[in-house]
Amino acid sequence: LSVLLVGDGADRDRTVDYARSLGLHVVAPGAVDHDEVPDWLATMDIAVILAARGQSFHYSPLKLKEYMAAGRAIVAPAVGEMGRVLRDGVDACLYGPGNVGELADAIQRLASDGDLRARVGAGAVDTVVARFSIDTQLDEVLQRLGL
């Protein structure tokens, strides 16, 4: 198992050090230009979004949609928009924020089952197209405006 950590943040170095201490191979290019993101996504089998228990949760909503559009199998916390949009085992594998056991189980399930990875990745594409295409978004705005 290799870990790819794209981006920067306050905990980046600590996260890389910890993963390496577990014997994992870590690739950590840091922040990348947005036009490079599709290339990095193409190298991933599983895309993970982390959330700690009690954390005032913040993540880039674009990140989730990029993962989905790329057809990646996603592991995500069942909170906020992700908890409302994603369905466990259909378009993502969900875990409780801060529940390291559930997070590890979700990653292990996807890592050991190529068919599940493919189904979840395809489900993510179906969901992002159905829920977040420009036509769907425009229809939603027009409906809210009563037009």
Range 89-117 average pLDDT: 95
pTM: 0.84
Q: Token digits for 73?
A: 């199998």
Crossing angle (nearest 10°) for helices 61-69 and 114-132: 120
Whether residue 57 has pLDDT greater than 70: no
- The mean pLDDT value of the chain amounts to 89
Whether residue 72 has pLDDT greater than 60: yes
pLDDT at 98: 86
Between 66 and 2, residue with greater pLDDT: 66
| 38 vs 85: CA distance, rounded Å | 22
3-class DSSP state for residue 56? Answer: coil
- Of 57, 47, 66, 71, nearest in space to 120 by CA: 71
Whether residue 60 has pLDDT greater than 70: no
Domains and CATH numbers, the chain: 32-144 (3.40.50.2000)
Least confident of 44-48, 53-57, 74-78: 53-57
| 140 vs 124: CA distance, rounded Å | 20
- Count the Cβ atoms, other than its own, within 10 Å of residue 121: 23
Whether residue 146 has pLDDT greater than 60: yes
pLDDT at 50: 84
Whether residue 55 has pLDDT greater than 90: no
How much is the CA Rg of the chain, to the nearest whole Å?
16
C-alpha neighbours within 13 Å on the C-beta side of residue 98: 6
| 66 vs 102: CA distance, rounded Å | 23
Instruction: Give the sign of the dihedral formed by CA 123, CA 128, CA 133, CA 137.
Output: positive
pLDDT at 8: 86
Proportion of the chain above pLDDT 70, given as a percent: 93
